[in-house]
Structure 1
């Protein structure tokens, strides 16, 4: 069998030799092109020469035609002259013949002029016809008027003038034709020489290139044969060529090794290669190749190597027909390509077993598990899902999971799940799922996106391929939480009752105790006048002293209770700070000296005046000095004060009380400033006290706009530092109802970070916190008491609430309970900001976090970062005044606002892949197709299709337009000023929904039982 050089298919499908240079394939058409170009040039030269000959002949005909025309005019002139002289008609024969020939002469001349490419013009025809007409006129004049009249007409010279002008025009045309013929003849001579040379050159070059290509192709064929020989020798795959009798014609080394070690045969040329067992498996495919000439790829074979029956080998064979020969057109044989895929089959089997184990594990976990594709369509559930729901695989296919969701929650579940799918982010939610017996149970659902690593060469981001999710039954956990909530409510009620009871006991406790002190002092004075009553006088003095001590203890308890109940007020006045300090020192000097201590007073010269509550400041200093004296023996207690100014120009006074007493460890310091707490239990037994003094001091320092700190080491004493503003008015601006109104707060902030509601009866705290929040990008609303705070929370739905505890009428605990009791407000995170240490109670009532005053601003910033809003509203409104009004409205509702210049701007954002906004607020005008087209484009864009659209409908929209608009947007409201109430309500609903999702994603907290997400 003759073998041709091996070949492969090029991109164009043309067979090409293996190893053939691409240049050879490209030069072949070049050679053909050169040969065709040479032949074409020769043809073009011949055609051009023919055209030139025609043009030259036409120019010659122009010359001959004009000569004949002039001859005709002479005949006319001769006949006219003979008739004029004799008057005899036979002399007019030349005259008549000349006139008859003129028309035919001009037809011949016109054709020749056109063929020669000349521009003859009408002059020659005009002059000839004028000469003819004049001659005819003279002949008629001779006939009518006689010879004298005709002679007079000839004597006028008009006939001669016309004849001379005609001769001149004919001569001009003859000269042009002669010149044109000469030019064409010269050009033809030059062109024929050039074209002949070029044609000969191109033909010669094409033939030479064809010869070179033939030599190069022969060389490529030899190289291809060597390449195929190397391939057959070294290829790892087995390659064999068989004739129609399936005997081996040629094979490579890998084929021989496979045949010996796996097939158990020794292949020889001219013998049947395939053993019976393999032949039986391949028989149908072999017949199809040999009889039908159709290739078969990836035919799987299973072979038992000789002596290794237990170790089966898997082969993958491909069969293809060889070149067809003979009249019958059947293949001369077939090619066989065989790969040993046993290792791959074993790996696939191992992977299958691994997948089976993984499926068993997933089916065994207590959660309901599921997996989606990249569009969110669920493709797989574990067995526990089917066991719980009692549903079939067919019923659950796609979005069938919706059938087991509670109908009241389904819409919300679906929307939030689709939003997570569109964003490509993790998703978490809680919802009710129906069990097979019809009972609904609560589940916590979490889903994580599955991504495939990007190709390193491509350098792209990981590709999203789906989500894996689980549903965990949390019904029992929710029941326990409800029980805990009931217990918290009971504890809350008890705590409020206790605080209210103690606060109300002020008169009942102090009145009888004051009477005891008064009577004891009176009796003590009377006993001084009774001889021998010294013992009784001492006893009366002890009664009065202990009663006063009891009164101070009761005052501490009542002060703290009044603070908790929000009934403690600040009474400010102007006073000399140095004088107050010296007054305190004089008062406590005796107390300090009881244990052999020395009191040192250090007052700065520039201490100056203060505007604050002198009574509370004096009590703070009494508490601090008394505390220092209690824990110091034979040491020094220092009372010092100084004045400083901060970067904002605010003056501060720093009061420092230092002692050389027993000091404290870090653990003991951590327990200070708590109610009824001292450093440790031994302190109470040794030194006495209620543990309320420092708690009250810290509370008073906070009420006066400052704070208090402590530095101490065991055995080296303690230093308390209290820092207060010199003028409390700068820290506590007078509360103005307009400043806390719901509608237009002063400088509410940019709103780009969201809206925060601050509820506190202390104007200083409101001012400080508001300034900090506005600096962090939040919009701020302030409420001066609990009831107005709850009302504002209902109207505003803020991102977060900062809540104080100690407020009049309704304390912070009651406000927190009320907020969590309303379903629409329960999702709003509430952060307690107070100096009362009741962290456990706050969390039990549902607080999101707990901060103590004075506020640590960095900690407050970290807490609020979790609730920062990312909701953006895109505004499309042409009227500047209306646009400004809508922007103010959106920002007041907690939206970050971006403005679009026109519909094309929004389309550009969509095309650029910009993040979709949380809301599109756009005007729609009557008969304006642009607005409707934009809405249709939004709904057709995958990333923007879920954007809620509120349309501001201009007056004049027809009812069909309104109906079409309502079907495509979330809400249609009239475009009027001020904005209608339904627009405000819808903006608040959208903002609340967005904040709930943002809070859930940021904090990981369990959402309120509301419409939840997909399974």
Structure 2
């Protein structure tokens, strides 16, 4: 298959050479030709034409397939005497280099093959022989002549252009092939120009011709790069630029060659650019610099300029490649970020609170100015764990434990501690911390703020020494009402003591004395005495101002003791008491006396609420139940007149009362006591008549061993509907 490569004997040698080159490009543009066999046939035809046109003894072409990189070896010419494989022998003699770098060869070599001497010359296919090599040989001693060298060089150049275009065609889309055609047409124009100047080429030196061809390749490389790029000579002169450079600067190549003397570079960046460039040329090393360059409309934009040397096979710098990367948008973004950071620092340092940040491991890395001024320490002194020096020694361990707990939970948290002020005084602060997470939910930083709560702490303390006084007042106020109950409660064991003493005396004076009965009577006397002592001790604890003592409390037992103190009031006011106690009620955590004070206050309020009830029974029900898995609820339900639903929130306000003679502190103190027990106290209206007051407090944890040892005696059954008897 010849693909249209026919022989026209009427055409001149030059015309035929051009014609075959054009046909070669057209043929290589066809996809079916990229089979190795088809490509070899096309190139063989071309070598035949050159062999005949130049009357050569040998032409050998060694290529890499443009797509598959498979090796292609094509030879044309006579087998000279004494040569078994002439192309391989010649190539072995010319160079030991496996990559066949033609630049390392002599321009013409005289090689003895058998009894003959052959003149051999080679031409690179590609700028650095990367596509292959074309070898020509002749027995004529004057080979090659200038015309022969020129034509072979042009043929190799045409092969290079065609193969490069074809390789791009094979890797890119149809539009890349169109661009390659334009390049080929440009090469054709250059070839026509070369043909017109062929008469003058004989007078030029080979070095100048090679330089001209190389310059053409350099410009092609520059134009193929889509980013602004400039090619400079080894001594720093601008040699070629591509279209993006020309369009950006709006200047000609000659004007850009004078870049050190015009406005292409910003005046403030010109001297550093020249100095950096000069040092790079002197040292022969790559360089980078950021500088502003004037656009065609007069606007200067930031560029990242990178220059790197291009070296030949001997390591000598032959060109400099300078790449210009527009970084104006990045520069503006960086400046905006710096401005934002400056504004953020101003804001953070202006906040009238102690702001800080810490690393994921908890070590501190930043403190705002307010924090540093408050503790009178520098940022270096506070970093990592230096901040702990400003914490009160008594609070440091608890704060450290709280901080570690917050970090372990990876959740927001807070703690309280005292910080030393610049004048040496300690004040209370609330430490709050929030985690900053990345997209994978990992904590990458902690941010915190310390808020001074000294005034709040003092107010809370004052509210506690006040609540204690109010609590004591409520206890004292009930003494009058409880006097009768106290007398009734104590009179029973005292009467028993007198009766038992008389019985014991009779038994001892009997004849014979009844010693066994006397001993039993004495035991009952001791029992009644202890009972009277316990009653007095409980009453004394209820009305004194001792600090609360936390422990495990049997709520049923506490209720029974309060009921015993209130039986006389219930009987006097005609109240029918019912108890509905749940079986096996868990112990609660709290202060027994304070809880009894709340129960007593709620019972008396319920009794007072039914004082004007005459049309129905005055029923009072005390109910206990489990409130979920972690709390216990107690409810006191009456059948009185209830309350205004709109005023339910005011019932627990201090000094608010619905009684004519009340002070309005009982429910307020009761709610404070329950809240201090980490519980809640509330009121609801019954479906019929009356109201129900309830409180819920935490139970003793299930794993608290020995909790029942605080006196739990179980629970009594509910359903006691009869009037309580004195």
TM over 0.5: no
TM-score (norm 2): 0.43
User: Larger C-alpha radius of gyration, 1 or 2?
Assistant: 1
Where relative contact order (Cα < 8 A, 6+ residues apart) is larger, the structure is: 1
TM-score (norm 1): 0.32
Higher relative strand content: 2
